[in-house]
Structure 1
Amino acid sequence: MESVTVHPTMPNTDDKLHIAMFPWLAFGHMIPYLELAKLIAGKGHKISFISTPRNIDRLPSLPPNLSTRITFVKLPLPENPNLPEGAEATSDLPEDEVAHLKTAFDSLDEPITQFLKSSNPDWLLFDFAPYWLPEIARNLGIPTAFFSIFIASSFTYLGTTSPEAPPDDRKLPEDYTVSPKWVPFPSTVALRLFEVLRLYKRITGDETNVSDLYRFMGSARGCDVIAMRSCEEFEPEWLSLVQVIHGKSVLPIGLLSTTANDDDDKDTWPSIKEWLDRQRKNTVVYVAFGTEAMPCQEEVTEIALGLEKSGLPFFWVLKTKQGTDAVKLPEGFEERNEGRGVVCRGWAPQLKILAHDSVGVFLSHSGWSSVVEALTFGRPLVLLPMSNDQGLNARLFGEKKVGYELPRDDGDGSFTSEAVAESLRMVIEKEEGRAYRDKVKELKHLVGDRKRQNLYVDKFLDYLTTHQRRRSI
């Protein structure tokens, strides 16, 4: 195990911090943590990035100038008979087996305690899952920040910890389909019934695992400060509300636009670019659902037929389960759409695709990282949330006209190919879609303004440094 050792009796005197980071074992969490780590390391601070060996080996390579400031700390997962060999991230497992990964993750409490004792970082940034970690850090005299990769509106929906805020008395699935009573302004940010039912075991927990809400609230209650992947210009009312309902400082750290690594796509990009170059400007539908969201057979069929009915050129990054659970495209689909559409079954350089001026709309699962990338290049969205916080995101993005949510049945979440085709055509070319096209152009200047977003990281580090200086006195 690699580590950075800081002598516990030596106060930090040069205003350069040693920050430990411990994200949840999902790449949708690890990548934003790594982006923040790179920004902080670029300002001269030291980072200990803690995860499991296989996850660390799968992370994007670091820029050479940062490799000496970011140390990867590998903590092997304890053996768990319910986990397949090599399963160290949520993407390695079906969704109904992720609970076993959380159980194994909780067993890292002792190894991370030993690491924190030996390295004595100035700050520990941790994710929602290790609700037990703030107490360990407090006993070691290490201040903590709960760094949430969720936007403030979704964070607010999950619950409250301040005694001044209304208690969370939601019990039935239907209770989760309306805006919580601690939200004092009109909002559509709530789960739809089919989303609640899909997530209900994770909302309530069971005899083998505490609920995700329990983890969230324990982490929010135990931390010293809440850091959030958001900014004042995007959701100011929600950031203020998080501070009220949790009774502690909330620090936005900016949107953390992903930085591309040209080495990762040098083999795949030329042929993709050649195809995109042949398409007219603002006409291509780009379809991708992140690293983990996989549509089921019925959804794949309706998406495919909808793309075909739209008449629009498309580039579809299709990730499917392997073996007997593998989904199939409609018979003859690829042959009928040869030349007009591309189905990519491997990795694709999303940032470069979104940057290409032939792309006119992004059909996405509403994951925050993907939406930030779309906004960076001013691409309007059609939203098809799959799981986790994506439905909550989609409601806020719909309110703000960032994306149009694909119409679905509220009870089972089903949708039709006609809805896919009509939604795509509306956002990409019709007059009623102009509000979405105009809004993302407006937000492009906010999200793509690296200097403005960088100021959030500076303010965050100022807070951490000031707090650390007081601790050293």
Structure 2
Amino acid sequence: MAGDGKKLHVAMFPWLAFGHMIPYLDLAQFIAQKGHKISYLSTPRNLNRLPKLPPHLSSLITFVPVSLPPVNELPENAEATMDVHPDDVHYLKKAFDGLEPELARFLETESPDWIIYDFVPHWLPPIASKLGISQAFFLIINAWFLAFFGPSASMLDNSVMQPTDPEQFTVPPKWITFPTKAAYRDYEIKRTFNTSSEQENASGVENFYRAGCTITGCDVLVIRHCREFEPNWLTLLEELHQKPIIPLGLMPPSVEESGGDSNDTWVSISEWLNKQNIASVVYVALGSEVALRPDELTELALGLELSGHEFGIEVPRDEGDGSFTRNSVAESIRLVMVDKEKGSIYRERAKATSSLFGDKEKGSIYRERAKATSSLFGDKVLHDQYLDYFVQYLENHKSQD
């Protein structure tokens, strides 16, 4: 259906993890800026913990609380992955599945034009289809991750995800026909399979079955990616899933969006950073759900202390068990962040560990690559064009009234 100028009502239903909820909120705000109404559904405690809305969008975005059914094994007030141990997330998924009746009532009563959902609610596509509501699956992670696991049909019957040998995931799968180094490392897949094979699943539904259902049931798959960066993956996803694939760009945040008191945490961090000397701060990002072992945390801390320099390089790990040492952390940092006076000393030390780090010019290569991609990743005009196209797609492809 072609766009008729009518403003849309878009429902958004992310998984109960802030790494999902916040990108969904970012997308909601962009859609609302075009004058469309948003209903953002999550649990009460999660909604209260989200960043505050800009005043000019508050009338267009409605937070809709849904009550998470009790599950005995969940701690009191646990409504997000950050509230539970990683081994207990399957109980949260069991509770999440209990939202099905409340979501069905909301969709039947409010009849939004679109619902944008995450990978977990495998039960949602049939409900939306029955009600004539258009559906978009918003994948917040990169394109290669989804492409790596093959077509949605294989996700539904688990034929791809039940290998006899986990090491088959340490090389690109057969359906990836272009050159790539994307694959699991030995320690990564071992940890993944140890977790999946030893841990019970209270929900009774595997993650890949969930993803297979949500992909199969959607009208369009939208993904946080851009064609200027590794476009082959987007083409492959279209071939694997036989669905329209719409990249949203990389959705870089705007500094202006944190104005006022809309994001008190960022304001305080920004004020502190502004007081520091240039190139004097180390930013360590491990992911919101990474659980380091005590020995890993100790080695990381000691390595940072030993280095005396900022860094932006992956720390080499043992390919067998994924471990790293304080010296590998320190030498990695020294390899990348060097100055003219001290550089020769650190480069000589790095040269002594060439089996781990390669030649002595590797640091400059990383810096040049980072410089070359920074303009792409931070190009808000470019990425907003992707978002503009997506909103136009929503306007032009909603179900018939």
Answer whether TM exceeds 0.5 for this pair. Answer: yes
Q: Residues 404-458 of structure 1: CA distance to partner in whole angstroms, max 9, x if unpaired?
A: x321122221101111111112222363212221222222222222211111111
Among 281, 295, 317, the residue aligned to 2:292: 295
Give the aligned partner of residue 412 of structure 1.
321
Cα shift at 1:203: 5.3
Decide whether the 8 Å contact of 1:20 with 1:124 is kept in 2.
yes
Greater helix share, structure number: 2
Decide whether the 8 Å contact of 1:170 with 1:176 is kept in 2.
no
Give the aligned partner of residue 94 of structure 1.
85
Give the aligned partner of residue 128 of structure 2.
137
**Letter paired with 2:215:** A
Q: How many residues align?
A: 366
SS of the equivalent of 2:59 reads: coil
CA distance in 2, matches of 1:103, 1:443: 41
Among 167, 171, 175, the residue aligned to 1:174: 167
SS of the equivalent of 1:287 reads: coil
**Letter paired with 1:254:** G
Cα shift at 1:238: 0.4
Cα shift at 1:252: 0.3
Give the aligned partner of residue 210 of structure 2.
215
Among 425, 435, 438, the residue aligned to 2:365: 435
Cα shift at 1:201: 6.2
Among 367, 382, 388, the residue aligned to 1:452: 382
Cα shift at 1:15: 3.4
**Letter paired with 2:319:** D
CA change 1:267–1:466 in 2 (3 A) is: closer
Decide whether the 8 Å contact of 1:18 with 1:122 is kept in 2.
yes
Decide whether the 8 Å contact of 1:173 with 1:196 is kept in 2.
yes
SS of the equivalent of 2:138 reads: strand
Moved more, 39-48 or 437-446: 437-446
CA change 1:182–1:16 in 2 (3 A) is: same
Cα shift at 1:137: 0.7
CA distance in 1, matches of 2:306, 2:143: 37
**Letter paired with 1:253:** L
Among 2, 5, 11, the residue aligned to 1:20: 11
Identity rate of aligned residues, in percent?
A: 46
Q: Residues 16-66 of structure 1: CA distance to partner in whole angstroms, max 9, x if unpaired?
A: 211111110000001111111111111111111111110000000011011
CA change 1:424–1:214 in 2 (3 A) is: same
CA distance in 1, matches of 2:149, 2:45: 31
SS of the equivalent of 1:471 reads: coil
CA change 1:129–1:201 in 2 (3 A) is: farther
Matches within 5 A, 1:140-159: 140-159=131-150
Decide whether the 8 Å contact of 1:162 with 1:247 is kept in 2.
no
**Letter paired with 1:32:** P
**Is 1:194 matched up with 2:187?**
yes
Matches within 5 A, 1:305-454: 305-312=302-309, 360-361=310-311, 381-382=312-313, 405-429=314-338, 431-454=361-384
Give the aligned partner of residue 319 of structure 1.
none
TM-score computed with the length of structure 1 as normaliser:
0.73
Mind listing any 5+ residue stretches in structure 2 that lack a counterpart? 339-346, 348-360
Decide whether the 8 Å contact of 1:226 with 1:249 is kept in 2.
yes
**Letter paired with 2:121:** P
Cα shift at 1:162: 5.9
Cα shift at 1:13: 4.6
CA change 1:176–1:203 in 2 (3 A) is: farther
Q: Residues 186-218 of structure 1: CA distance to partner in whole angstroms, max 9, x if unpaired?
A: 222122222223222665685633221221122
Moved over 4 A (4+): 201-207, 266-269
CA distance in 2, matches of 1:96, 1:220: 26
SS of the equivalent of 2:64 reads: strand
CA distance in 2, matches of 1:51, 1:183: 36
Cα shift at 1:464: 1.6
SS of the equivalent of 1:145 reads: strand
SS of the equivalent of 2:327 reads: helix
Q: Residues 347-403 of structure 1: CA distance to partner in whole angstroms, max 9, x if unpaired?
A: xxxxxxxxxxxxx53xxxxxxxxxxxxxxxxxxx33xxxxxxxxxxxxxxxxxxxxx
CA distance in 1, matches of 2:218, 2:195: 22
Mind listing any 5+ residue stretches in structure 1 that lack a counterpart? 1-10, 313-359, 362-380, 383-404
Give the aligned partner of residue 337 of structure 1.
none
TM-score computed with the length of structure 2 as normaliser:
0.86
Decide whether the 8 Å contact of 2:122 with 2:214 is kept in 1.
yes
Decide whether the 8 Å contact of 2:3 with 2:397 is kept in 1.
no
Cα shift at 1:270: 3.7
Bigger relative CO (Cα 8 Å, ≥ 6 apart): 2
**Letter paired with 1:168:** V
CA distance in 2, matches of 1:59, 1:130: 21
- CA RMSD, aligned part only? 2.2
Cα shift at 1:117: 0.6
CA distance in 1, matches of 2:175, 2:146: 12
CA distance in 1, matches of 2:194, 2:8: 40
Among 71, 74, 78, the residue aligned to 2:65: 74
CA distance in 2, matches of 1:180, 1:132: 29
**Is 1:116 matched up with 2:91?**
no
